[in-house]
Structure formats: C-alpha cells, structure tokens
A = this chain, B = another copy of it.
C-alpha cells in the first residue's frame, strides 16, 4: 500500500479535514472513502483500527484519527 486512505462520512468536520489533508499530502497520495455511502468498506476500516471519522490510514498501517466527526458505531447506525 503506497497511498493513504482517508475514511469519512461526509460530515462538516470530515470535509474540513479532507480539504486540509489533500492540501498537505496531495490528492494523488490519498484515496477518499465515504463509508456512509460505500458501506461495504466499513468492515475494512474497522479492521484497520478506525474508531471514528475522519481518519487517515497511513501507508504503514497506522490510523490517525483527526478531530472528531462521528464514531464508527454512529456511521453503522
């Protein structure tokens, strides 16, 4: 894995963080995944260690939870 993955759920905190992350690391270096819409990616996010969104999964497998938009349980509903 060479790209980071940015998991979000479309919330205002998510969108603001998404904008910042793209500016910091470049759009070509990050895959954006909206787990509120792409619900089949929720399990993958959970297994990677994502507890809340927005979160950035780095290429080396670490999860950076950035600010706080919603818990994964809230996204799962």
Contact = CB atoms under 8 A, between A and B. Distances in A.
Contacts of A17: 64
Interface of A: 4, 16-17, 20, 23-25, 29, 58-60, 62-68
Contacts of A25: 24-25
Contacts of A4: 24
A68 B65 CA distance: 8
B67 A64 contact: yes
Given A17-B64, A65-B67, 11 more contacts: A4-B24, A16-B62, A20-B58, A23-B58, A23-B59, A24-B24, A24-B25, A24-B58, A25-B25, A64-B66, A64-B67
A63 B73 CA distance: 25
